[in-house]
Amino acid sequence: MAKEPEDTKVRYCLNCGEKIPEKAKFCPFCGENVALEELQTPEPNKEETPEAKPEEETPSPFQGFSDKNFTLLDPGETFQGYKILRMMNKDKEGIKYIAEKDGKEHVLKIFFKSSFHNMDTLFGMQMRLSRLNHLTDASIAKVAEVKQSHTPAYMAVEYVHGVSLAEIKKYNPERLNEELVRDIALKLIKTAMLVRKHGLSINKLQLSSIMLKDDSEPVILSSGINYHDQDERDDVFTIAAIIAQLLSQNILYKSIYSPDRLKTNKFVKIVGVSMALNKILAESLHRNITQRLSTLDKLQNAISKLEPVEGSEICTVQDTSFLDNGKPEQAIMPKAAIEPGFWILIGIVIVLMILLFTTNIYQVVFGAEEEKLQYTGFVWGADTIEDSLSTQGKDLQQPGNDFDPVMTSYGELKSSTLDERQDPRRLPAAPQPKDSSPAPVIKPAQPGKDFVRIDPSTFGFGRLGENLAHNVSLSGFYISKYEVTQGDWSRFMKPANATNFGEDLPVDNVSWFDIAIFCNGLSEAEGLTPAYRIRGLGASRVVSCDFNANGYRLPTEAEWELAAKAGKLYNYSGSNDPADVAWYRDNSAGKLRKPAGKAANDFGLYDMTGNVSEWVWDWYDANYINNLTTFINPTGPEAGIQKTIRGGSVMNSEGRNLNILWRERGDPNKGYQFVGFRLARSK
């Protein structure tokens, strides 16, 4: 018997689709546990006679194993009412089948679990699938059914009879004349404009995702549509790149007219195409996004106004200065000698470093206008120069920083005195000048009826069930009963691109940094001391929080969890049955609801579970709660790249992701669908 070729032993993980070693028990890419016997190819029966041996078939790379949530389907089997006709192909999201239901052919796609493996891909996938249902234009493959809550998740799309543009380009390129391509382009632009109205994008569209039906009408497959907050100029670029690929010579369309190269190299005119269309393509495919045609409407108008191909000036000469056989131009070597300008630059850097470490120049540049430049001496121990200035010549253990005493498992915390412990979050009061009388104390305005006072407490941070030990102690604070609405947000900020619009619906899709700006604006409008100090611009912004201020802020993660638990050990905020207290996937139809539509928890707080997930103050660290170093008013890790999100949303099902202890994370510079916030105040 001939030895089995090695390539027939290749196996693929049905969770993430990656190749895995023959004897692996776990997928090295996603960690999915796969039993050893499931990975091995069954050996043929040695006692089997040649006459009884079945006809050999080409080994399938998927043959021989499955996981607990996914099994390959054979022709004739049924899945949720769809009769499998044949397997089509697989991609990084799942496996596609041609299936029949009610006498119609569909493309049935069953998703891998890895398509929902983190928050970014989860949001993108959920938004894409939920919005594809609303695309009913004839130029888009009709979505028959989407089931995200089923295990495994799946979708069914009408089967389009025709041929893809990629196949035409490969096997019948002479069919793609300029007149046909112009017509296809105008229809694609119209479809792209419709797609954008539903919050989707075609920025990843490829020739293989566009079918040309028998009547020459183009149809965009669902795989060519994705959910992304994309600049419209990127969609302009995508359509222009498709036009260039269709009209270019076969040997060039995958090289100099590939999207990746067009983003970094100057557009090269296409031989055999009108100069007018070449000009439009050059403007649409500019490497600098700010120099491109700004909207799909402008691209549509430009192509519509083109003169007929017959009689137009045609490009006949290929500009070869940019080709060079696909090789980059030879780089110019720098001069060997160091020029005087280099030493000048070094000197400037040294002066700036000295100013940074010996003066308060940072505060002068990014701080308040009234601050003046002054010498402070070298500072090494403080986190910032501002921290050093605030502590020089001061006794951090001075009275006046009241802290409500509470009992913890580590002993009694006493109120602050000159030689006793105090609340480490609160900043020391500025010393009074010796020759002046104390300033009158003005009692700050208390939060209104929409806020609940949470008394000083101890609780088990990150714990439920039988583990009742209290490990964290918090001072008293106020927290809003309701999640901030779109109407509240629009008083001070540009209206958010909310998932479901409504003045009385929770605001979502707003970034953590924008929330900090909103909190300060609301504080100033009500005559309060802003809690946040924001320095720098854009992604380099730095936000610090004065927890002693009376202005509005986000709750810390510990404050949020204490408020959500409300002294109980329920799995959800207020109940062990999420239907009592939460809007979630099983009862919300994936839509945001007005605050207080469900029962409050024992503190009188609504929607702490479900509706929208909620940003909190803390940087995210997966091991933060298990490795606490501060047990009194913890405010999270000192630094990080992502902020923490708590509470679950209408897109989460009953169970782990909706549980009161579930933690998520997000980029503070980005807004996310179904992620909002509620307000807190220290006093």
- On the question of pLDDT at 136 being above 70, the answer is yes
Whether 499 and 539 map to the same domain: the answer is yes
**Domain end among 132, 158, 184:** 158
Whether 166 and 300 map to the same domain: the answer is yes
Task: State residue 654's pLDDT score.
Answer: 85
Q: How far apart are CA 93 and CA 152, in angstroms?
A: 12
Instruction: List the structure tokens of 134.
Output: 């609303």
> Does 245 fall in a domain?
yes
Task: State residue 470's pLDDT score.
Answer: 67
Whether 612 and 470 map to the same domain: the answer is yes
Per-residue pLDDT tens for 649-664? 999 988 778 999 999 9
Among 139-143, 415-419, 519-523, 638-642, where is mean pLDDT lowest?
415-419
Whether 364 and 473 map to the same domain: the answer is no
**Domain end among 104, 124, 158:** 158
- Residue with more model confidence, 549 or 432: 549
Number of H helices, E strands in the chain: 16, 25
- Please list, in sequence order, all residues whose beta carbon lies within 8 angstroms of the beta carbon of residue 640, skipping any fewer than 6 positions away: 619, 620, 621
From residue 645, give the alpha-carbon distance in Å to each of 80, 494, 501, 613. Answer: 35, 22, 22, 6
Task: State residue 24's pLDDT score.
Answer: 59
Per-residue pLDDT tens for 376-410? 554 443 333 333 333 333 333 333 333 333 333 22
Confidence of residue 225 (pLDDT cuts 50, 70, 90): confident
Whether 456 and 359 map to the same domain: the answer is no
Q: How far apart are CA 355 and CA 378, in angstroms?
A: 10
- On the question of pLDDT at 206 being above 60, the answer is yes
Closest by Cα among 210, 168, 185 to 273: 185
Task: State residue 266's pLDDT score.
Answer: 85
Task: Please count the structural domains in the chain.
Answer: 4
Query: How far does the chain reach from its first CA to its final CA, in angstroms?
Result: 83
Q: Give me the CATH number covering residue 624.
A: 3.90.1580.10
Q: How far apart are CA 625 and CA 633, in angstroms?
A: 13
Per-residue pLDDT tens for 73-126? 888 899 889 999 888 777 777 788 889 998 889 888 887 766 555 555 555 566
The edge-to-edge listing of strands for the beta sheet with 613-619 is: 663-666, 643-646, 613-619, 675-676
Whether 290 and 225 map to the same domain: the answer is yes
Give how far the C-alpha of residue 197 lies from the chain's centroid of Cα atoms, to the nearest Å.
20
Task: State residue 366's pLDDT score.
Answer: 57
Whether 272 and 316 map to the same domain: the answer is yes
Q: What are the b/e assignments for 405-439, b being 16+ CB within 10 Å?
A: ebeeeeeebeebeeeeebbebbebeeeeeeeeeee
> Does 223 fall in a domain?
yes
Map residue 127 onto helix, strand or coil: helix
Q: Give me the CATH number covering residue 144.
A: 3.30.200.20
- On the question of pLDDT at 434 being above 70, the answer is no
> Does 556 fall in a domain?
yes
Task: State residue 209's pLDDT score.
Answer: 83
pTM of the model: 0.41
Whether 456 and 480 map to the same domain: the answer is yes
> For the residues 334-341, what does the mean pLDDT come to?
59
Whether 553 and 523 map to the same domain: the answer is yes
Whether 501 and 644 map to the same domain: the answer is yes
Please name the residue that has the structure tokens 């004839």: 138
- On the question of pLDDT at 647 being above 90, the answer is yes
- On the question of pLDDT at 128 being above 60, the answer is yes
3-state helix vs strand vs coil in the chain, percent to 5:
30, 15, 55
> Does 514 fall in a domain?
yes
Q: Give me the CATH number covering residue 320.
A: 1.10.510.10
**Domain end among 274, 294, 324:** 324
> Does 39 fall in a domain?
no
Q: How far apart are CA 548 and CA 35, in angstroms?
A: 56
Per-residue pLDDT tens for 621-634? 998 988 888 889 99
> Does 224 fall in a domain?
yes
Q: Which domain range does residue 167 map to?
A: 162-324
Phi, psi of 106 (to 5 degrees): -135, 160
Whether 479 and 504 map to the same domain: the answer is yes
- Fill in the amino acid letter for 327: K
> Does 203 fall in a domain?
yes
Whether 285 and 271 map to the same domain: the answer is yes
- 296-304 and 178-197 helices, crossing angle to 10°: 150
Q: 70, 152 in Cβ contact below 8 A?
A: yes
> Does 46 fall in a domain?
no
Q: 554, 515 in Cβ contact below 8 A?
A: yes
